[in-house]
Amino acid sequence: MPSACDSLIEDIEDMVSSTDPTPNERQSARKSIVPRSRKKNESLINEELQADSLIPGTQKIWMKTWGCSHNNSDGEYMAGQLAASGYKMTDDPTDADLWVLNSCTVKNPAEDHFRNSIKKALEQQKKVVVAGCVPQAQPRMDYLKGLSIIGVQQIDRVVEVVDEAVKGHSVRLLGQKKDGGRRLGGARLDLPKIRKNPLIEIISINTGCLNACTYCKTKHARGDLASYPIEELVERARQSFQEGVCEIWLTSEDTGAYGRDIGTDLPTLLWRLVEEIPEGAMLRLGMTNPPYILEHLEEMAKILNHPRVYAFLHVPVQSASDSVLMDMKREYCIDDFKKVVDFLKERVPGVTIATDLICGFPGETEEDFQETINMVKLYRFPSLFINQFYPRPGTPAAKMEQVPAHVKKQRTKELSQLFHSYNPYDHKVGERQHVLVTEESFDAQYYVSHNKFYEQVLVPKRAEFKGKMIEVDIYEAGKHFLKGRPVEESKPFTPSIAAPLRKGEVSGLMQHGKSNWHQSKCPQKEAYVSRVISSWL
């Protein structure tokens, strides 16, 4: 029967040295050990004092996250746990003792940035811990050799990994969370976290997906669908509102597939969540693929019309050619996508549909590409993510016959020019809208708010507007934004039911005593302590 200690380190590939006793040896040895004092010579004492002077939990940590909102949520949880354990999070990479690099594997450029950051850290003699989808999918890449790794389902153990990395050890935790053989959604949702924006809570409702797209590397990292129970998600939302959050983002690799593995569905979850949303606060639904939202269109239209839910949906189509979609193994045809868009546009007036397109997928002909051009002309999407195809190592698409690079580049350029040829918001000028103010613009000249349709509205940067629902008159429209002038006779409304946390403050730590995370019995933490004690003995 394996011990708790064994189960903890079965997925650790590198520890202190190859001559260390095995976990089984440590466990069996512990049974017969009788502690006794022993004399130590002065040189040994000095040596131990020097070794012990590097105390984990006192160092400065810099964290960098690439990729989707799911990855950003993971980064927030890791930062929160590290801060709650005594580490100081810093925004200055040069000031940090250790870098946590949380990667994205969707496209080559994101991985290139990640790889370059590792190189830069090592050149600056910083200790490095890597996380996210790149090391989870390909932990044996040469440039990851000797580095500590936190798997995407092991973020609740980031403190253990960082502790060991600080001491110069290499630890790799890449296992899956399971309960009775069933794969879980991931780490617990009540862990401490540091929200990048104290007004916005990002909740991952499930991990993985049910598809097997031929171009996708994320599937290698996140795996098959695993959903969090509704009660856990509702409780997380409730706690967030109690900490002053006024906007919730639901995220996953495919929100539309939520619940299929646990006998429920997305509309059931959403109706439970809207019961918890305070007046004036808003919920934004994340990306959903066409196949799994089709059967819920009636309910989704009702939910998107709810006053506390943004009338916004991100539905990636990737191509308007059925033959390309078949090669991608997207499991729908272009008519399915159009049915989703047409239905929601009819039932949810003004709804914003965002989508993604890939240019130059292997086998894409000029006729295939023209179908995509025609679809964009038809719908004139206000939000369009255009991606030149990059073959990701280890995916079926990487082995297909590639479209020449210059053709991919030309198609990407042509599609981008089409997107920039129309202004989707011109007709909004003159409207009076209610908007929720949540952040500062990149140039720090405005506050950023969003209207019911999740369209970005820039408003004057007045302190009394932050975190408030205000009324504005739209006086200008750009390609990606609107500008609103506050209605003078209208008073800002406060949706938050509590004061927001300060920037950098740890969520999940209760005012009176410690959080559930600190108080609960945690087998992983207990096993980890046992391992450390047995190594001392």
Distance CA 169, CA 162 (A): 9
Kindly state the helix (H) or strand (E) to which residue 220 belongs, with its residue range: helix 218-222
What's the confidence (pLDDT) of residue 511?
42
- Cα–Cα distance for residue pair 379/413, rounded to 1 Å: 19
φ/ψ (deg, to 5) at 438: -130, -20
Look at residue 279 and give its three-state secondary structure: coil
CA–CA distances in Å: residue 230 to residues 186, 309, 319 = 14, 18, 33
Contact 134, 108 (CB under 8 A): no
C-alpha distances out from residue 411 to 153, 361, 362, 389, 491, Å? 38, 11, 13, 10, 48
Is 213:396 a contact under the CB 8 Å cutoff? no
Q: What are the pLDDT digits (tens) for 191-203?
A: 999 999 999 999 9
Span of 181-190, 344-353, 372-381, 467-476 with lowest mean pLDDT: 181-190
Name which residue leads in pLDDT, 262 or 108: 262
Sorting pLDDT into bands at 50, 70 and 90, what band is 174?
confident
534, pLDDT greater than 70: no
Q: What is the mean pLDDT of residues 417-438?
A: 98
Mean pLDDT of 371-392: 96
**68 and 96 in contact (C-beta within 8 Å)?**
no
**Measured distance CA(302)–CA(297) in Å, rounded:** 9
Q: Quick count: other Cβ atoms within 10 Å of Cβ 404? A: 9
DSSP assignment of 78-131 equals: HHHHHHHTTPEE-S-GGG-SEEEEEE--SSHHHHHHHHHHHHHHHHTT-EEEEE
The per-residue DSSP string of 303-340 comes to HHTSTTB-SEEE---B-S-HHHHHHHT-SS-HHHHHHH
At 16 the pLDDT is 34
Alpha carbon distance 481, 455 (integer Å): 7
* Contacts (Cβ under 8 Å, ≥6 apart) of 401: 362, 363
HSE, side-chain direction, 13 A CA sphere, residue 109: 4
Contact 294, 340 (CB under 8 A): yes
pLDDT beyond 80 at 237: yes
β-strands 383-388, 98-103: how paired?
unpaired
The token duo for 507 is: 């969520």
**Displacement of CA 459 from its chain's centroid (Å):** 28
Mean pLDDT of the chain: 86
Average pLDDT over residues 513-533: 40
SS3 422: coil
Residue 29 in this model has a pLDDT that exceeds 70 = no
pLDDT at 18 over 70: no
pLDDT at 172: 93
Hey, what's the torsion of the CAs at 12, 13, 19, 23, to 10 degrees?
Answer: 30
- Model's pTM, two decimal places? 0.81
Give the pLDDT score at 510. Answer: 55
Give, as one character, the DSSP assignment of residue 299: H
| 98, 130 Cβ separation under 8 angstroms | no
Beta carbons within 10 angstroms of residue 204's beta carbon? 28
